[in-house]
Amino acid sequence: MLTITDCIGMSGLTESEVDAIAEHEHIPEIVAAEMGAWLLGTAKGPVTIEAMIRDDIVAAREHGLRRHADELQQALRHFHQEHPPVIH
């Protein structure tokens, strides 16, 4: 049987990146892992994931959740390291 940790590991994303997708889309973590894996396989997927994380950062700041915003910012930095923005 696969665990959520296994599914996140196969997604190509970190747990915090998957959590950001889940938060943004209001979906369970397991669905977010699948969605993230699918998005990474599309041309605009990385840009979409980045936008989700950025939206989550803004929402956290608007709600005064400074620590959460900082955690999301770290997730975004890691995402950029692993999936650098494509410049055309």
Joined together, the tokens standing for residue 42 give 């599309």
Domain-embedded: residue 88: no
Distances (CA, A) of 1 to 4, 84, 87: 10, 33, 40
φ and ψ of 6, to 5 deg: -60, -45
**pLDDT for position 84:** 84
Say if residues 34 and 11 touch (Cβ distance below 8 Å).
yes
Q: Which domain holds residue 27?
A: 4-82
Q: What is the mean pLDDT of residues 76-83?
A: 95
3-class DSSP assignment, residue 5: helix
Whether residue 87 is contained in a domain is answered as no
Mean pLDDT of 8-30: 97
The pTM is what?
0.92
Count up the domains in the chain and report the number.
1
